[in-house]
Amino acid sequence: MIAGPGEPKLPPMATYAIGDIHGCWHTLQGLLQRIGFAPSRDRLLLTGDLVGRGRFGREVLRWARQGEDHIEWVLGNHEIHLLADGLRLQDVKRRESIRAILDAPDGAELLEWVRRRPLLLVHEHFALVHAGLLPQWSISEAQELAARCQRRLQGDGARALLEASWRLGRRAGSADPADDSLPPEEVLFLHGATLLRLIDQRGEMVEGFVKGKDEIPPGALPWFEAADARWRSHRVIFGHWAMLGLMLRDDVWCLDSACVWGGQLTAVRLDDGRVFQEMQHRQDAPED
C-alpha cells in the first residue's frame, strides 16, 4: 500500500542494544513491544548470556537464530557453559536450564550455531563484548584475538581452549599447569571477554568476584576504571555484571540490569541514547 499525504511516516530505522536476557523470553517480548521493534526495519545488538539461569533460553536462542539478519550478539559465559556441557567437558556442572537446550530436538543444531557466534563485535564508534576488556588490549588487538578464539571454537581445538579457559578460573593459588599447546593470549581472551569484572593494580584479571561495586576488595578495581586502557578508542558496551546494574557513561555502557534476578531488561537506542526497560515477567522467574 502506498502511503497517502495524510498517512503517518514510518519511524526511521533504529538500532537497539539489549542487556543479558538469561532465558527471560516473555520479558524480552514485552520489551520488544515497548520499543515498537520492527524486524524489517530495526536492528538489535545483544550483550550475550541469552541463556542460563532463566527458563526459556531455548526460545531466546531460536528467536535470535531466526532473526539472524537483524540480530547480532556476542557469546557470554553462559553460552560458553553451554558449549562446554555440549562437548562433555570434565568438571562442568550440569545446569537444568542448559540441559533443556541440549536435550531439545534442535539442541545439536543450536549448539553448532552458538559455536559460530563471535566474542566481540566492533562497529565504527563502539565495541560489544559480554564482560569486558583488559587494559592491555587495543580494539584491533582484541578483534584479532577474538577472531582467533572464534576459529578455534569452531574447529577441533574447541575442547582444549574451553578446558584451558575453565582452568584459568580455578587455578588461583594451585599448581595446576597451563596447557602449553595453546597460545596463552587466546585462553586469556576467551576467559576475560566472557567473565571479567575486576582487575588488580597491574591490570591483571581478578578471579571470582561476583558482588557489587561497594564490596570490591582493596587493591582491585572495575576493568573499565583502568587508567590508560588501550581499548578507549571505542565505547565498550557490555553486560554480565548484574550487581553493577545499568550504567551509561561516555566510555562504557553496562546493560545488565538483573532481569533474571527479578530486575529489568534494558534496551538502549544507539541513535539517541534513549533507555527502555521492562520489569521481569513473572513466568520468567527461575524455578529454584
The residue ranges that bind Mn ion (CB under 5 A) are: 49, 76-77, 240
Shorter beta-carbon distance to Mn ion: residue 158 or 254: 254
CB of 50 to Mn ion, least distance (A): 10
Per DSSP (E only), the strands in 74-223 are 120-122, 126-129, 198-200, 205-206, 220-222
**CA dihedral defined by 82, 86, 89, 91, rounded to 10 degrees?**
60
Shorter beta-carbon distance to Mn ion: residue 234 or 240: 240
By beta carbon distance, the residue nearest Mn ion is 240
Shorter beta-carbon distance to Mn ion: residue 77 or 280: 77
Which 8-state DSSP code applies to residue 230?
Answer: G
Q: How far apart are CA 76 and CA 20, in angstroms?
A: 9
- The identity of residue 109, as a single letter, is E
CB of 261 to Mn ion, least distance (A): 12
Shorter beta-carbon distance to Mn ion: residue 20 or 186: 20
CB of 130 to Mn ion, least distance (A): 6
Q: Which helix (H) or strand (E) holds 100?
A: helix 96-102
CB of 49 to Mn ion, least distance (A): 4
CB of 80 to Mn ion, least distance (A): 9
Q: Are 10 and 37 in contact (CB under 8 A)?
A: no
Shorter beta-carbon distance to Mn ion: residue 14 or 260: 260
Q: How far apart are CA 154 and CA 161, in angstroms?
A: 11
CB of 241 to Mn ion, least distance (A): 8
Shorter beta-carbon distance to Mn ion: residue 235 or 240: 240
Tell which phi-psi region holds residue 173, choosing left (phi > 0), alpha (psi between -120 and 50) or beta.
left
Per DSSP (E only), the strands in the chain are 15-18, 43-46, 71-73, 120-122, 126-129, 198-200, 205-206, 220-222, 235-238, 247-248, 252-254, 264-269, 275-279
